[in-house]
Amino acid sequence: MSDRTTRFDTALAWAPRFGPAMALRLVLCAVVLFVFAAPFLIIISGAFNATTDSTQVSVIPSDPTLLGFKIATDLGIWGYFLNSLLIVGGGLLLQVAMSVLAAYALARLRFRGRTAVLMLFLLTMMLPEEVIAIPLAQVIANLPLLGVSLKGSVFGVILPVAVWGFSILVMAEFMKEIPAEIEEAARIDGVGEIRMLWTIVLPLCKPVLGVITIFGFMMIWNQYLLPLIAANEPSDYTLTVALSFLRSDGDVGPGVLLAGALIALLPSLIVYLVMQKSMIRGITSGAMKG
């Protein structure tokens, strides 16, 4: 095999021998890695640094301390953290369940207006949150038909995020690729719709479930406008909203804000590390089917 052929056998078409081309690629990769990793390193450094100065950038704490976390605790950061966990737990559970049910109906069932329904889900993704803020606040304050106010409760945030067009569309496109022969064979054996979804279709969708779980978690966890609208008082805030208000407080130093930012970052990082294999399988399986 010639050198020109073996040159493309390695990842990213890197040559097996070190040379100027590989050195250039290593430098470029190091620059890109630094650009993406530097903000996280600065957050970690500032969270543990007693002498954090907003005008200086440091990736290594010069005076390590836990004072920032102590002050953040005194300001009730863990209460806001608990609010965020309750909302993301309930909202994500409902979102995944609704996505699976809606996607199954759109992908495997035949009914009039299916294309129109898909277009409506797509349109919901086109509208910025600021556009629907006022009508959403009115609905939360006075739930139609029931006349119940959800303001000041976690349900005021959980219910609006229970349906997300992105998750439904991703699930529907994945379910469309499941061979019809599997469904036909199951129907011959007398399998109904609920059993079809639970025992046949859903197990085949495990890779894409990881994808919508990760993106759904990040979407709900990073919500800012919706928790702000649904809150009655500061104790109802989520961690994202609380950090924004702490930032406007002149008595709160940068170290406390970075400590709170690190606390807010950890759940997303943990979820990604736990679900990354499922996410990669979902992305690669979708690419191979395409």
DSSP 148-182: ---TTSTHHHHTTTS--HHHHHHHHHHHHTS-HHH
Q: What is the pLDDT of residues 46-61, one digit of tens each?
A: 888 876 565 666 667 7
Q: Using N-to-C axis directions, what is the helix angle for 206-221 and 254-289, rounded to 10°?
A: 150
Judged by average pLDDT, the poorest of 48-52, 104-108, 165-169, 198-202 is 48-52
Judged against a pLDDT cut of 70, whether residue 122 lies above it is answered with yes
Q: Could you tell me which residues are beta bridge partners of residue 64?
A: 49
> What is the overall mean pLDDT for the chain?
83
Q: What is the pLDDT of residues 55-88, one digit of tens each?
A: 666 667 777 888 889 989 999 999 999 999 999 9
If pLDDT is split at 50, 70 and 90, which confidence band does 214 have?
A: very high
- Band of pLDDT at residue 14, cut at 50, 70 and 90: low
- Asked if 154 contacts 86 with a C-beta cutoff of 8 angstroms, the reply is yes
Alpha-carbon distance of 138 to 215, in angstroms, equals: 27
- What are phi and psi for residue 51, nearest 5 degrees? -115, 45
Sequence-separated (6 or more) residues with CB below 8 Å from residue 267: 84, 85, 88, 217, 221
What's the pTM value of the predicted model, to 2 decimals?
A: 0.83
Contact call for residues 91 and 157 (beta carbons, < 8 A): yes
Q: 110: which DSSP letter?
A: -
Helix or strand (DSSP H, E) at 35: helix 20-47
Phi-psi region of 237 (alpha: psi -120 to 50; beta: other; left: phi over 0): beta
Of 271, 253, 251, which is closest to residue 261 (Cα–Cα)? Answer: 253
Q: What number of CA atoms fall less than 13 Å from residue 150's CA on the CB side?
A: 20
Helices 20-47 and 67-74 pack at an angle, to 10 degrees, of 50
pLDDT in tens, 258-268: 889 999 999 99
State residue 106 phi and psi, 5-degree precision.
-75, -30
